[in-house]
Amino acid sequence: MIIGVDNGLNGGLVAISKQTGAVIEKTVMPTLHRCKKRETDTRKVYEWVMALESDFIFAIEEPLHHAKSSQAVRSMAISFGKLLGLAESRQWDVQCVKVRNWQKAMLGHLAPPYDTKKAALGVANMLAPEECWLKSKRCSKPHDGMVDAFLIARYIRKGHALVGYDKL
């Protein structure tokens, strides 16, 4: 199994089969409020992962070095650090994935400067037409975080050059 992780506060986690690439389970990134700020809830991430089978690769998107605001960079770096710390403490098999690498490989010519959210949803729907990418039944807009997490997992499944921590 491969667990793709879009580590933003509005990110997601998607577990896929190594053999078929089919979605096993998916969820939005669980968060909590601490000191009047939202952050990743690593305890809930751990519980979600442990409810799945035990043999997996944890493929996590590296934070960008720049974003629309310094607060966004800080938030993604903190989420990444918390998730990486969780994985390291549990000795999970971790693969760090650069945004540009997975987008180029999975979106191809549809990648920047075009609308990557729209392109990612199109590719995800092509790869898994039976999947519903909504956060809940009440939502009408697909959840970008789960879509990206799915494509990150599929990127690792395709055997692209893996970046970073081979085994923590």
More confident position, 73 or 4: 4
In sequence order, the 6+-apart residues with CB closer than 8 A to the CB of 146 are: 6, 12, 13, 14, 26, 27, 28, 133, 135
pLDDT digits (tens, 9 = 90+) for 63-84: 877 666 777 778 888 999 999 9
> Which CATH fold would you assign to the domain 2-157?
Nucleotidyltransferase; domain 5 (3.30.420)
Task: Tell me the two tokens of residue 109.
Answer: 């010519």
Quickly state the pLDDT bin for 165 (edges 50, 70, 90).
very low
Mean pLDDT in residue range 131-150: 92
pLDDT at 113 exceeding the cut of 70: no
